[in-house]
A = this chain, B = another copy of it.
Amino acid sequence: MKKALAFDIGGTKIYSTIIDETGKIVGEIDKFSTPKTLDGIKDILKTQVQKYEKEVDVIAIATAGAVNNENTAVIGSTGNLVEGYYTIEFPKLSAKRVFIENDANAAAWAEYKIGASRGTDVSVMLTLGTGVGGGIIINNKLLKGKSGAAGEMHFKMYPDKRRKCTCGSYDCFEIYASGTALKLDAEEALNDKNVTTYDVIDGVKNGDKKMIEILNRWQRDIMIGIKGLANLFDPDCVVLSGSMAQFVDVKKIEEEVNADIVTSPTSIRLATAGNYSGMIGAALLALAKEGV
């Protein structure tokens, strides 16, 4: 059976493991803190490649940042990674084929092949974490756009500049639907810079009405964003993944979205492909040569 050496390169951690063509993890999970230097990142990649490349058919990398349509390079800067990250020449890491894809796209592909959106034609995945990632699949293809950067969840929630987004612009969905957004919602509601998302979640568990209100406002904004996406893409389902997805009332959002959708009712689901879905998706894309 064919296998991939898979990486997940994020702002805080780099993971690597070996994954077979069915999406099964068949190696150890190696874990590193993401170095603050370009050479540090390259060293980890080189070391892991040297160690494992003989065992595999392809190197499959899920990475933060937009990836070009040739799946060979990161394009532009990525807020969470060291400056110049996009200069890494991934294909030179190994004599074997090196395939890279955006982490949210890769995770969406894993959900589509072995997870929550299996069997659908059109799906939208939202990764709700510190930020918000997006991966959209249309008839067995990832939506990539002209440069590879499509699926950015930076449509506007207000037109009149209220909250600055991490991207430098204002009022993007990301800054109302992420974990960071929940903290900002709480800061605004309580007029307290030190409140955390944990405070909100704990408060909700203890029945604190103010905290429930804050969580509801955050969920409303997620719902409003999904409603727009559902009207644009008419998807079979919207999959929610990432560390913040567990705090979302999926059934309630589904009801509210479908209450006044103009396309046709959609299904909202939690992701099921697990924490390593980025690596799994990248491996499946690289091994099957479909989807991109």
Binding site for B on A (CB under 8 A): 66, 75-76, 120-122, 134, 136, 138-139, 141, 143-159, 167-169, 172, 176, 220-221, 224-225, 227-229, 231-236, 260, 262-264, 266
Q: Is the CB of A262 within 8 A of B169?
A: yes
Copies in the complex: 2
Which of A121, A134, A141, A264 has its CB near the most chain B CB atoms (within 10 A)?
A264
Q: Is the CB of A229 within 8 A of B155?
A: yes
Q: Is the CB of B156 within 8 A of A263?
A: no
Q: Is the CB of A263 within 8 A of B157?
A: no
Q: Chain B residues with Cβ under 8 A from A231's Cβ? A: 152-155, 172
A3 to B159, CA, bound (A): 45
From known contacts A159-B157, A234-B145, infer whether A150 and B224 are also in contact, taking CB-CB under 8 Å: no
Nearest B residue to A176 by beta-carbon distance? B159
A127 to B82, CA, bound (A): 42
From known contacts A260-B167, A260-B168, infer whether A224 and B159 are also in contact, taking CB-CB under 8 Å: yes
Q: Is the CB of B149 within 8 A of A263?
A: yes
**Closest CB in chain B relative to A164 CB, distance in Å:** 11
A149 to B156, CA, bound (A): 22
A121 to B146, CA, bound (A): 7
Q: Is the CB of B159 within 8 A of A263?
A: no
A157 to B289, CA, bound (A): 39
A138 to B168, CA, bound (A): 28
Q: Chain B residues with Cβ under 8 A from A152's Cβ? A: 231-232, 234, 262-263
A144 to B153, CA, bound (A): 20
Give the contacting residue for A149; candidates B138, B145, B264; CB below 8 A: B264
Q: Chain B residues with Cβ under 8 A from A146's Cβ? A: 120-122, 234-236, 264, 266
A285 to B229, CA, bound (A): 26
From known contacts A155-B232, A231-B155, infer whether A143 and B150 are also in contact, taking CB-CB under 8 Å: no
Q: Is the CB of B150 within 8 A of A263?
A: yes
Q: Chain B residues with Cβ under 8 A from A236's Cβ? A: 146
A121 to B144, CA, bound (A): 11
Q: Chain B residues with Cβ under 8 A from A228's Cβ? A: 154-156
Q: Chain B residues with Cβ under 8 A from A76's Cβ? A: 264
A159 to B235, CA, bound (A): 21
